Structure 1
């Protein structure tokens, strides 16, 4: 290669910083986590909603809260070609509530129970478990204020984690009160914060929403907040009763929890029940999912004054938690095999016949792959072994003449011949 040719080669591209990619064979684990979490919600009657990847910026500024780090620091916001300000979605609840209002879903039976999955975007400093494009599975139940519904939402998330085999996580729970107790508590907290040595940005945040200061992760700030009044100690009678009922339902369901009265979560719309699932095996980014009730959000976004409760689970972090617990390679659902049967054709005529047989098997819901590119027997069998398939179908010219095809068990090495006519039935029977 000449120097001129080398310098003319196009620059290679790389994925954006802070964006994880999943590809075979590791993507099998990601897919399993996402599907398992969605299945738990599906069994509880949550129907699928597909949301836009970007929305009007005002939806998040109004719905999520301008005092939050999400809105003030982390959103991907830009002007489109019509000079409209749009934002890549940083979370799912505001978009779901907007869709419920826009399409009148709240005018039918309540609660409206919806689930979603997909990518969300936050501009953060990339590190293990913290990404700029994060994958989530979430649910929202809108229209009914019932502690049993709060407990159901929490239990659905817990069921998803259990179905994955996770054991090393805990559920943290608290209440953020309601409109009857939040104002008085806010004034009490502001008075407390006024006596602390805080930087100007933190003081400004305290004036907008003093609860946001309790969410500060800086050790020096957290130390000064050690004696801050706790909202759970100032709940209205209705909020206290609601919180007690949620805990009773969780006890009845066998869902273990610990109370964390200092939990705030990162979004302004939460009221009453607030929760987070934490896995200490992940280090600093220990949260794998969380959510809560948001009784005022729908009215803020222009809809009826209906309550709602939901959660968002991080698929990326849940996958990391499964890896920490050694689950990824230990159970059949985590298998990276993408086929059950691998076809090994030896010659053009054999290839044509195996292509048809593979199609017949796929129509019967059997996962089938073939050796392509005219590989010899040795190379094709190596590919069959790498595929993770249970059986190989070996077909050569002599087999065609005899009307037979070889069915080889790739675990034992045992090979038998079965008639080509009806071979699909023989393979299905062998798979059990």
Structure 2
């Protein structure tokens, strides 16, 4: 029985505009160096699928926290879609035993075979594999071609779209591997990173979309930038296009990683906040007792202390930028064990003894450094939603209730400065 071939949105506006979308059941290759935006593009593909109420199976070798941060930069709440079974994240480990096995190619082939097994389990509409590079370092290129084609055919027979992300080739052998894969897929997307900055702090480069089967509109080239909350965005005023009939020779792809590191068994992993235990976190009841002791010590010896409030705007959680647990981890790693921490709703209170303005500034800088990511785009976005207020002990306070009531009051909230204003 012959299925009708239809075009559907990919999640990459430039491709959708030039080709009208991707073929339902088609397979596509994304090639690019590190920090070219290839994972953002992979997440754009996944987001389009999930937001269309279709199931996306996302293979990744990234740490869960890093994947969550990348998705948050696109306003893509992956945890929410996972909760609704529209996104299934499958984490894969590198094949570290590749050099210890008698037949490395057979060992790698098992990983490609596993893709089909997981697809049969979850029955997705779209799969994204970010990234495939460690699993295609076959010694026998013909064997790789056979295994990859078989995998594609089994996926395509189920009318499932597939996107495979690979690094740029760095050797002739790696280039040969990339060329082999490119000839097997429906089309390819090449990201070429520019050395200089574009649009201030956001990097970009050149994107080339090339058809292999169908997409008779031809090959297109454009400059792109990486925009916060949008991902890869094309600058139409600089756009340059080619067709497959042009006399110009097709630009050769840059080359893949010199060493292909393999993978161990595929496992399903739920994305969640990383749990970290700190011995200096106290309940509100114990926190009151500790503050009362500090007030008594201040009145008898003059030893000063500060109470610091870090309030997390709920908008940051809704946008998927940071959770209260992640902020707690950042604070816990930034203060000393002798400092005391208490969490009240969306506010983290820290009692810092024997301190001064300089030490407080150092702690605030450390909190910024210990945020879930040091990426400047992320840090700039998230620090706008963290408000800090510092209260110094004085003789006007008689007990802990007065301090805590004041620092949690609306008056104190209005006096808060954001973390971005303080660093």
Using the size of structure 1 for normalisation, the TM-score is 0.30
Using the size of structure 2 for normalisation, the TM-score is 0.30
